[in-house]
Amino acid sequence: MQILTDQSLDLDQFMIGLKRRNPGEREFHQAVYEVAEKLIPFINQHPKYARAKVLERLTEPDRIIIFRVCWEDDQKNVRVNRGYRVQFNNAIGPYKGGLRFDKSVTLSILKFLGFEQIFKNSLTTLPMGGGKGGSDFNPKDKSDAEVMRFCQAFMTELSRHIGKDKDVPAGDIGVGAREIGYLYGQYKRLENEFGGVLTGKGLAYGGSLIRTEATGFGCVYFAREMLDTKGDAAEGKTCIVSGSGNVAQYTAQKLLDLGAKVVSMSDRTGSIHDPDGLTQEKMNYVIELKTGRRGSLREYADAFGVSFLEGARPWGIPCDMAFPCATQNELNGDDAKTLLANGCMLVSEGANMPSTLDAVKAFEDAKILYAPGKASNAGGVSISGLEMTQNSMRINWPREEVDRRLQAIMHDIHAQCVEYGQDDGFVNYVKGANIGGFVKVADAMLAYGVV
């Protein structure tokens, strides 16, 4: 039962204030709404959080750094981009979260990502705060030399604000092994320091085994945990995976390993529909095509004689399980209804906030197994956390050890969702992840007093 006091929060009033303070930041409003909707009833049952204004403080970043990034392209033209780092909350550990390089990057997108990261990182059980950064730089149509010069210019400013115990960036969309190499090289040059200031590093210079695979593998391990609660398994299930970048590739790979059938992947140009399903040979082709040559999936359709849905997302293809692994708001309410009508019984998000609020509502109402990204894609940042541990200890764990720890962490995240997500005999994973992620951060904030 809720005891309302004059300290109690009201969702509509809270959102009006948030929108007034952060005008026009649509993605940030959306991410906060999804969390606040689940947290406010919980906070009103625990007035110590309301009294200390924990939600108001959690939705205001500790600081945001915005800077000019100036570099020269191959034709010697001067180019100007905008760089950002949102240091959202460090109550339980150094700021931790990826860097996104994409022409769509705005402050709103990085604030939504940094906000989500607070809860995700708390769920991992590791000591990491929440942050995110990036730039509106598009690495897709640039030469290696241009990407290197951009990364060096970006890190020249960012290096003043990060540190292995302060803020530890990593990859995200448009930031993979190549970019992390250039960023780390410049940090090392500027600071004359070899430490764990970035994660996702190459194995030759302090990276962890399984970091590349971790987000995708973790997303499927989380799906396996959800299926377990129904006595079910992935084997033989038809799956669609959106995206074909880092997260999508290793989600598809783990699904193959578990005997599931992956019939679609996608990119910005469209989706493939391969009714026979990916094989290991086709999977290797996707990795070489997307990470090696940075080409379009259209080439896959030509190479294997399957259909290519030009400019389309894959949600119309019938499946048992869906894994949105491309980007935010790539699955809307109509897509969710189509998936449900086709019999989809599980959605495990590899991307951050891929489902719109309408889609989330449709999945909740249908009571399918639906995992929000902050729970199901936490495997990546978890292995980033373990990369930091290995760097501090000056050791490298073998592949089996890291994979075993990843599976244990995904199991623990699932257990927290089950503990906090109970809803009339059904596990609401959105509620579970939001409340489960909140409690540790909020208790640390209470311990610090008014800061």
Q: Which residues are catalytic?
A: 132
Per-residue 3-state assignment (H helix, E strand, C coil) for 254-303: HHHHCCCEEEECEECCEEEECCCCCCHHHHHHHHHHHHHCCCCCHHHHHH
Binding-site partner at residue 414 among ligand NDP, ligand 2IT, none, CB < 5 to 8 Å by type:
none
Nearer to ligand 2IT, 372 or 380 (CB): 380
- Is there binding between residue 102 and ligand 2IT (CB under 6 A)? no
Burial class (CB within 10 angstroms; exposed 0-12, middle 13-18, buried 19+) of 15: middle
DSSP result, 325-369: -S-TT-B-HHHHHHHHHTT--EEE--SSS-B-HHHHHHHHHHT-E
CA 259 to chain centre: 25
User: For residue 384, what are the CA distances in angstroms to 67, 79, 214, 336?
Assistant: 26, 32, 9, 31
Of 146-154, 246-254, 303-311, 429-437: span binding ligand NDP (CB under 6 A): 246-254
Q: Which of 355, 384, 390, 434 binds ligand 2IT (CB under 6 A)?
A: 384
Q: Which of 131, 134, 169, 174 binds ligand NDP (CB under 6 A)?
A: 174
CB atoms within 10 A of CB 59: 22
Please give the residues from 340 up to 359 whose contact with ligand NDP meets the rule CB under 6 A: 350-352
- Is there binding between residue 169 and ligand NDP (CB under 6 A)? no
Q: Tell me the C-alpha distance between 403 and 399, whole Å.
A: 6
Q: Tell me the C-alpha distance between 208 and 213, whole Å.
A: 11
Nearer to ligand 2IT, 130 or 270 (CB): 130
Please give the residues from 289 up to 308 whose contact with ligand NDP meets the rule CB under 6 A: 290
CB of 350 to ligand NDP, least distance (A): 5
- Is there binding between residue 230 and ligand NDP (CB under 6 A)? no
CB of 154 to ligand 2IT, least distance (A): 16
Q: Measuring CA to CA, which residue among 125, 180, 192, 173 is closest to residue 154?
A: 180
Nearer to ligand 2IT, 238 or 377 (CB): 377
Q: Which of 270, 380, 421, 437 binds ligand 2IT (CB under 6 A)?
A: 380
Q: Which helix (H) or strand (E) holds 188?
A: helix 177-191
- Is there binding between residue 96 and ligand 2IT (CB under 6 A)? yes
CB of 173 to ligand 2IT, least distance (A): 8
Q: What are phi and psi of 283, to 5 degrees?
A: -65, -45
Q: Tell me the C-alpha distance between 96 and 166, whole Å.
A: 9
Per-residue tokens: 422: 């109970």
- Is there binding between residue 437 and ligand NDP (CB under 6 A)? no
- Is there binding between residue 215 and ligand NDP (CB under 6 A)? yes
Half-sphere exposure of 393 (CA within 13 A, CB side): 11
Q: Tell me the C-alpha distance between 390 and 232, whole Å.
A: 35
Binding-site partner at residue 96 among ligand NDP, ligand 2IT, none, CB < 5 to 8 Å by type:
ligand 2IT
- Is there binding between residue 181 and ligand NDP (CB under 6 A)? no
- Is there binding between residue 98 and ligand 2IT (CB under 6 A)? yes
- Is there binding between residue 437 and ligand 2IT (CB under 6 A)? no
CB of 119 to ligand NDP, least distance (A): 13
Q: Which helix (H) or strand (E) holds 438?
A: helix 429-448
- Is there binding between residue 111 and ligand NDP (CB under 6 A)? no
Binding-site partner at residue 247 among ligand 2IT, ligand NDP, none, CB < 5 to 8 Å by type:
ligand NDP
- Is there binding between residue 97 and ligand 2IT (CB under 6 A)? yes
Q: Tell me the C-alpha distance between 101 and 180, whole Å.
A: 12
Q: Measuring CA to CA, which residue among 20, 6, 3 is closest to residue 59?
A: 20
Nearer to ligand NDP, 172 or 320 (CB): 172
Nearer to ligand 2IT, 116 or 274 (CB): 116
> Which positions lie near ligand 2IT, rule CB under 6 A?
96-98, 120, 170, 172, 199, 352, 380-381, 384
> Which positions lie near ligand NDP, rule CB under 6 A?
171-174, 176, 215, 243-248, 267-268, 290, 325-327, 350-352, 377, 380
